[in-house]
Amino acid sequence: MSFFDCLYLLENADFSIVEIKINDLPAQASASEKFHWLKIDKSSLQISPLTFSSMDSHGEIEERYFDNGFLKFDSKTGTFIEKYNSAQHQLISKNDKILPEELIQQIEVYLN
């Protein structure tokens, strides 16, 4: 059993973007300690943190602002725009939020 839950999972052929919540922290832990957004390269399994800045919600549309980009998504699709609009990536929302075992293990290694 993993010590974190996957709250959001979006992906394309090249990478996954996930929001995880760490479960085994004290009640007084800050939101930045509990919640993490990660960009994971599918070929190398390299994890890059997305530094959360702010969020917004408009009905079914979710928006997340990071120091290194912007993510806009709904229950079906999403777009990740890298900082300075250097690249735009179309994503598919995975509503089952089930991470492959190798990805779970890689995230656990990253967090430790």
pLDDT computed for residue 24 by the predictor: 87
Residue 14 has pLDDT above 90, yes or no: yes
Block residue for tokens 């599918």: 42
Residue extents of the structural domains in the chain: 4-111
Residue 10: Cβ within 10 Å count:
22
Give ∠ CA 112-64-1 in degrees, rounded to 5: 35
pLDDT computed for residue 86 by the predictor: 86
Can you list the alpha helix ranges (DSSP code H) found in 14-97?
31-34
pLDDT computed for residue 112 by the predictor: 86
* pLDDT tens digits for range 42-100: 999 999 999 999 999 999 999 999 999 999 999 999 999 999 888 999 999 998 888 99
Residue 106 has pLDDT above 60, yes or no: yes
Six-digit token string for 32: 């930045």
